[in-house]
Amino acid sequence: MKLELPLQILSEGNFGNIIHHDVYQCLLSFLIACFLSIISIPIIINLSNLLHLTAKPGFRSSHETETPTLGGIAIFAATLIAYFLWPHSENILDSNLISLAMTGVIILFFLGIKDDILAVDPTKKLIIQIFASLILVAMGNFKVDNFYGIFGIHDVSDFISIPLTVFIFIAIINSINLIDGIDGLAGGISLIAGLGFGIWFILNDHFSFGCLAFAMSGSLLGFLRFNFSKTSKIFMGDTGSLIVGYLLSIFSVEFLTLNVGYQHDPNAYFNAPIIVMVLLIVPIFDTLRVFIVRIFKGGSPFIADRNHMHHILIDSGLNHFWASFTLWMATIVNTTLFFAFHGDITNTASLYVYIGMFASYMIIATVLKRRVTSRKRKRNLAKSPSFNDDTISASKKLFRRQ
């Protein structure tokens, strides 16, 4: 691990050179992105209100007033400006990957803006997401080609790795989009994951990706200040969720790629796939559960409803902050516990544990959902004109007999 503070620079008093140190550049990118996000969002809010570019409350909404949805513009601009302030890695491969990544980010930026303003057909959105992913996968040879011994599998061919990597991109992009249903959830989870990846990149001298992760995290921190505001609220919209999901996909695949040498590199993680899955445990679990519930009920997995965990927590009585905080802490606690207890357990065994955690998550969500449904029924009965004291007494007698 090669993280060295520039003590020699400090001792010589040459403070001007601190700004050229890679670690400080990453930290400055975080702070600058946060600052740019904070100063630009009020302008976007005013323009959105002036042009009536706001989201109206609906049956799935957790807000009661029209709210601007173009916060993703600030996230996009703040991230890119803060990142490109500095010259980055001289590694040609890293530079090429970052260039291709920026191309994909820009494509999804315009897709998100159009979707936030005019709405885009889901099939077209999926096609464009696949195209943006293939730019990196095909042109940058950017793919997951090792299974880290899961089920005894290590290296895999392009016939498997290319579709798998595209699937990872699409899954993460849309899972971030799907959890963007209450204040602070998508932004907070992405901030935690971005910092997690960014710290590892910096500690292992991959400063280009570390700086990009920190810039994205800083822009999200600035966004959260307004996302929780009561007087100047804004949503990230599809513009933000698509960009953030795409960047998290890039960090995930790069993290997996760089850790393939775990057998020879003491700083690499042999359980990198599980680390990615734990860092993104909330969007992964929530998306899987919602799809399973919708299919089990005989509906389409792509038709929106209020079955997300954040909806259940809100309906259980939590406000937006505490619902989001609960899921933030689920990410932090599970990640901490994994690093504390994973030991030398194989990735296959870790995957089984992960599946067991998902089963527990399904049970918890089901119990909470039934309680919410039961409360709603009681409220509706209480409001019913025919629901009087005689009805209550008769119900009690019937209950005693049973």
Tell me: the pLDDT tens digits for 182-232? 999 999 999 999 999 999 999 998 899 999 999 999 999 999 999 999 899
Q: How far apart are CA 362 and CA 358, in angstroms?
A: 6
Neighbours of 351 (CB within 10 A): 16
Residue 111: partners with Cβ closer than 8 Å, 6 or more residues away:
120, 125, 128, 129, 238, 242
Q: Three-state DSSP class for 276?
A: helix
Contact 314, 320 (CB under 8 A): yes
pLDDT digits (tens, 9 = 90+) for 262-318: 767 777 889 999 999 999 999 999 999 999 999 998 888 878 788 899 999 999 999
Tell me if 286 sits within 8 A of 144, measured CB to CB.
no
- What's at 274, amino acid-wise? I
- Look at residues 188, 190, 184 and name the one whose alpha carbon lies nearest to residue 213: 190
Q: What pLDDT does residue 345 have?
A: 87
For residue 64, give both structure tokens. 């009661």
**Burial of residue 221, with CB atoms counted within 10 A of its CB: 0-12 exposed, 13-18 middle, 19 or more buried:** buried
Helix (H) or strand (E) run with residue 68 in it = strand 67-68
Q: In this model, does residue 26 exceed pLDDT 50?
A: yes
Query: Considering the entire predicted model, what is its pTM?
Result: 0.89
Within 8 A by CB and 6+ apart from 402, the residues are: none
Would you say 177 is a known binding-site residue? Answer: yes
Q: What percent of the chain has pLDDT over 70?
A: 87
pLDDT bin (cut points 50, 70, 90) of residue 375 is confident
The most confident of the ranges 3-12, 131-140, 389-398 is 131-140
| CA-to-CA dists, residue 117 to 52, 54, 60, angstroms | 10, 9, 19
Specify whether the CB–CB gap between 293 and 304 falls below 8 A: no
Answer for the pair 70, 116: CB distance below 8 angstroms, yes or no: yes
pLDDT at 328 exceeding the cut of 50: yes
**40-82 confidence digits (pLDDT tens):** 999 999 999 998 888 877 655 566 688 999 999 999 999 999 9
**For the chain, what percentages of helix, strand and coil (3-state, to nearest 5) are there?**
75, 0, 25
The two structure tokens encoding residue 101:
């990544």
**Could you tell me the two tokens for 33?**
């992105």
- Rounded to whole angstroms, the Cα distance separating 273 from 255 reads 9
Residue 238, annotated as binding a ligand: yes
Q: Give the pLDDT of residue 68.
A: 93
Reference 315, options 241, 384, 371, 394; nearest CA is 371
Instruction: Tell the burial category of 208 from Cβ atoms under 10 Å away from its Cβ (0-12, 13-18, 19+).
Output: buried
Band (95; pLDDT cuts 50, 70, 90):
confident
Rounded Cα distance between 231 and 211, Å, is: 32
Q: Domain ranges in the chain?
A: 22-376
Average pLDDT, the chain: 87
